[in-house]
Amino acid sequence: MKLLIIGGNGTIGKKVSAHFSKKHEIIIAGRHSGDVTVDIGDSSSIKAMFDTTGKIDAILCIAGEAKWAPFDSLTEKDFYIGLRSKMMGQVNLVRIGQDFLNPGGSFTLTTGILADYPVMMTTSAAMVNGAIHSFVKAAALELKNEHRINVVSSGLVEDAVEKYEAYFPGHNPIPMQKVINGYVKSVEGKGTGEIIRMYDNC
Ligand SMILES: NC(=O)c1ccc[n+]([C@@H]2O[C@H](COP(=O)([O-])OP(=O)(O)OC[C@H]3O[C@@H](n4cnc5c(N)ncnc54)[C@H](OP(=O)(O)O)[C@@H]3O)[C@@H](O)[C@H]2O)c1
């Protein structure tokens, strides 16, 4: 299969890309590195990316940002960072990408544990994760051409512990192989509309 992995050079993305590259053709996209450049916060950039890649069998997004800060300091503008990037960025990838996805192809989006178990300073990030979960369930009902859509929602991953552990007291880091398996389940399985949760109930 031909896979497009947006964020394929990131902490999670590079491990997922390395895994899929053993069996599939991989195109990596990012703002600053990769085979093609894209900013998912800009729909004209998404369209330009697909014009470059042509038809794809699986589109994975392992990218998207939201501002982390105490609720009482977040401005309306701060909330729009997450809405534009992690939420509408992923929605627009599906909206525009439908025309570039081969019949039977799949979309795999990325959220995280915050949708179910938020921690301090994540009102924006938790909110957009929850929105993407609802979007995936609803979009799965309407996608055409046997397109499938799922979202991988991981806990704090092992490779990011150093950076984020202070925000996640008592959380069990998720092994990278477990996270990779979430993407494999979505891309190589047959499920659709699934929120693939990669963490224990906490
Ligand atoms: N790390 C964790 O423990 C964890 C757990 C659960 C969920 N998540 C979520 O998983 C996703 C990836 O996390 P990560 O830790 O791997 O992040 P990361 O190390 O910062 O990597 C993100 C990747 O996405 C690309 N990217 C960022 N913004 C982009 C944009 N607007 N358009 C296109 N590409 C963009 C970056 O490349 P460029 O800089 O070149 O654009 C980078 O390659 C995030 O949405 C994160 O919230 C992370």
Shortest-distance Cα residue to atom 41 of ligand 1 = 31
Mutation probe of ligand 1 site: the residue of 6, 12, 165 with most atoms within 8 A of C-beta: 12
Q: Cα–Cα distance between 121 and 169 in angstroms, integer? A: 13
CA count, 13 A, side-chain hemisphere, 108: 33
Q: Is the CB of 32 under 6 A from ligand 1?
A: yes
Mutation probe of ligand 1 site: the residue of 27, 31, 88 with most atoms within 8 A of C-beta: 31
8 A C-beta contact, residue 135 and residue 193? no
3-state secondary structure (DSSP) of residue 129: helix
Each residue's pLDDT tens digit in the chain (202 positions)?
Answer: 999 999 999 999 999 999 999 999 999 999 999 999 999 999 999 999 999 999 999 999 999 999 999 999 999 999 999 999 999 999 999 999 999 999 999 999 999 999 999 999 999 999 999 999 999 999 999 999 999 999 999 999 999 999 999 999 999 999 999 999 999 999 999 999 999 999 987 6
Atom number in ligand 1 closest to CA 34: 40
Q: Is the CB of 49 under 6 A from ligand 1?
A: no
Cα dist. 168→37, 80, 111 in Å? 32, 24, 16
Cα dist. 134→30, 96, 129, 185 in Å? 25, 19, 9, 19
- pLDDT of res. 202: 65
